[in-house]
Chains A and B, each alone.
Chain A
């Protein structure tokens, strides 16, 4: 542990000071926004009495469910990476230290990798809750502990699952099995979020006959069958000065899993897993396998085609990479299902406006996908990057090839979301056209921004592509991508508003012929052109200077 802490200290002392300062500033802003936002929401909802506070309580419970499910999703693959594939494991196990202690450290590392960010995101909200209710002093340590325990639980579970997988599944397939498990958990998360039916709650609250039932549900206790319910209830009761029993099963389970995981991992390791690691079966075949039709066709496109084929092959063969595509599909599916379930009144102008404003959320989905696909595009070259760096083409060609390789995926997703959501909501011609235009522009600029920023701030030493997006560069990408997509939506807002609210005055596509329409279109084109070109150029220049 001391060795690890010393390593962290050295990394902080010798790392880029400006980068750390920017990161600290971003973190401080985020904490401030969380605390201020939570307090404001509590004051606002508090003005509606117990109903409003009940809503906050449900939101808190849902948030804890989503975050703990997210930790569970990543815990299995993270546990395999840290428990068995860490580079320092051989060194640590060769030292005169008990194996269970080494694996206890590794379980701790798994928690830091999978659960630290959700923990840090949760604390400010819960502390704000304590401040709002003027909670007793013990609320704060208890809340701190409950949050850690809540996220330690899936980490312990993930570590145990990793141990079981290592013993049961073929070693060469363990990552695939782990990814499959992650997909099942992801599907469960989608189901759980959808099972809450938030839109039905809104619809029922709008119905005077059902309002009484809603109020009873909101004022009653939460769901105490699952750990997130225990945690939410413990925090809520502690904020009001009483200790809830939910904290005890949370503590008991976490400690049990936290103790069991390193002990079993140590046993599994000693029982011969390490020996199996080196004995993957080869099917040696001296007959040369010639390039397939796809490879031959892509090779005719030159360097870009070669790179695209190489990236495609690597992605399809590496579960840690293709699982990112599954996340993409899951995100799009959740979004479209939620859009279809939106309870909107049958007023065309209202539907048109809501339909247009949801484009901002599409930008959010696209940014979520971009941070997993476009941003790591260069970093996934890993330590083999020297092969490209010493090859006869420029950094600009490399960045362009990555951009062109990813654009079809991002464009397909963006247009699918724009068109399907538009059709599901029954949008008018102008709004639908604006959606498609913004979809195309977002795909171009967000892909270029991801590839450009990823090229400017690459992480060639990351073990897992999933962790690349959680770097300071990844967070910067999300912030900039959201800003870009919001500006795009704002640029075409006026013509859409005119066509929706004054359709008689602006029939057909005539809203685009107004000064606002033409200006908006020109602005969108300029923003996309400059954003795409600028991001790629900047990324290539930075990559060229990289040593």
Chain B
């Protein structure tokens, strides 16, 4: 349902994502993890048509997002990392507008149901500019789920949500995937990713450090239950796996730069043969 093939994105000389490839089949919840600036949001933005790939292809539900945008956009729902909405529309009007754009039938009943689910019924007739950040985030989540999309693309979903709403959202994503749909999410919350994701990709500075299910990642990093770790991060948790991947990458970069420095030094010290 989601195919990313050798996707690269450059901003000038800066490489945000370098030849990233992964696939997410139907019925799977896929997590994209990484530190700040890893390229998660750039990948998500390319998938929803907000940024154009420098090279490679991004396809949603079999449609290239940039070649056949209408079909692709009909197939996905998107939850951005910041819930910017029209402040002068009420919550209900916002949802009605989104339902209209996606040509939904029987939208009113669904809108009432979703507002009730997120305890927003009382606020449905209020302008969204009066909402708290968390309420706007909930409304944004509804805008994505309202049309029952086959693919759900989510960027940092938990920011600003109260614990109750956070649990609801976690269960919603899992249920959406279990119903045969595809969910792709980026998050900094490693416990969330560990709890709900079937497969994961760990990114760092635009490169893939590791990919697979939790077990595959554990095998890849050699992290097993009971092994010690630093900073109180023990066991075989995703947090441990994540830090191990980052540490390995840093170590290999350090080694590469040391080798480069020693090569340069050696070339400077090599006496020139007089001609």
Contact = CB atoms under 8 A, between A and B. Distances in A.
A187 B90 CA distance: 33
A81 B129 CA distance: 16
B174 interface: no
A471 B201 CA distance: 43
Contacts, number: 90
A384 B97 contact: no
A219 interface: no
A220 B108 CA distance: 72
Nearest to B101: A391
Contact of A306 (B49, B85, B100): B100
A387 B98 contact: yes
Contacts of B126: 282, 284
A212 interface: no
B96 A291 contact: yes
B122 A285 contact: yes
Contacts of A393: 70, 101
Given A286-B122, A288-B108, A288-B125, A390 B86 contact: no
Interface stretch (B32-40, B72-80, B249-257): B72-80
Given A285-B125, A289-B125, A313-B89, A390 B52 contact: no
A314 B89 contact: yes
A390 B50 contact: yes
A280 B73 CA distance: 37
A288 B92 contact: yes
A285 B120 CA distance: 11
Contacts of A306: 97, 100-101
B188 to A, nearest CB: 20
Contacts of B260: none
Given A284-B126, A288-B108, A310-B97, A391 B86 contact: no
A547 B51 contact: yes
Contact of A391 (B89, B90, B102, B108): B102
Interface residues of A, number: 33
A46 B255 CA distance: 81
A303 interface: yes
Nearest to A460: B84
A390 B73 contact: yes
Contacts of A394: 69-70
Nearest to B46: A547
Contacts of B88: 313-314, 317-318
Contact of B93 (A282, A313, A387): A313
Contacts of B74: 392
Contacts of A390: 48-50, 73, 76, 78
B52 A289 contact: no
Interface string A366-389: 000000000000000011101111
A389 B50 contact: yes
A4 interface: no
B124 interface: yes
Interface in B96-129: 96-98, 100-102, 108, 111-112, 121-127
A502 to B, nearest CB: 57
A6 interface: no
A409 interface: no
Interface size class on chain B is 35 or more
A547 B101 contact: no
A313 B87 CA distance: 11
A386 B84 contact: yes
Given A282-B130, A289-B92, A314-B86, A545 B125 contact: no
A289 B70 CA distance: 31
B219 to A, nearest CB: 37
A290 interface: yes
A498 to B, nearest CB: 52
Contacts of A314: 86, 88-89
A28 B135 CA distance: 50
B97 A288 contact: no
A109 B49 CA distance: 37
B130 A280 contact: yes
A392 B101 contact: yes
Interface string B21-47: 000000000000000000000000000
A285 B91 CA distance: 12
A299 interface: yes
Given A285-B125, A392-B70, A383 B84 contact: yes
A288 B124 contact: yes
B223 to A, nearest CB: 37
A382 B69 CA distance: 22
B137 to A, nearest CB: 14
Nearest to B100: A306
Contact of B121 (A286, A290, A303, A318): A286
Contacts of B111: 288
Contacts of A291: 96
B143 interface: yes
Contact of A384 (B51, B52, B84, B123): B84
Contacts of B96: 291, 295
Contacts of B69: 392, 394
A386 B50 CA distance: 8
Contacts of B97: 306, 310, 387
Nearest to B88: A317
Nearest to A172: B130
* Residue of B85, B86, B126 most packed against chain A (CB within 10 A): B86
B121 to A, nearest CB: 5
* Residue of A313, A389, A390, A547 most packed against chain B (CB within 10 A): A390
Interface in B140-177: 143
Nearest to A388: B101
A310 B92 CA distance: 13
A28 B252 CA distance: 55
A392 B102 contact: yes
Contacts of B48: 389-390
A388 B85 CA distance: 11
Contacts of B112: 288
Contacts of A317: 88, 127
A161 to B, nearest CB: 24
B100 A299 contact: yes
A310 B97 CA distance: 8
Given A284-B123, A394-B69, A303 B84 contact: no
A269 to B, nearest CB: 21
B251 to A, nearest CB: 34
Given A303-B100, A313-B93, A547-B52, 20 more contacts: A282-B126, A284-B122, A284-B123, A285-B122, A287-B125, A288-B121, A288-B124, A295-B96, A306-B97, A310-B97, A317-B88, A383-B84, A386-B50, A386-B84, A387-B98, A391-B73, A391-B101, A392-B101, A545-B52, A547-B50
Interface of B: 48-52, 69-71, 73-74, 76, 78, 80, 82, 84-86, 88-90, 92-93, 96-98, 100-102, 108, 111-112, 121-127, 130, 143
Interface of A: 280, 282, 284-291, 295, 299, 303, 306, 310, 313-314, 317-318, 382-384, 386-394, 545, 547
Cβ-closest 3 pairs across A and B: A383-B84, A392-B73, A317-B88
16 contacts: A282-B123, A284-B122, A284-B123, A288-B111, A290-B108, A306-B101, A314-B88, A318-B88, A382-B84, A386-B84, A387-B85, A387-B97, A387-B143, A390-B49, A392-B73, A394-B70
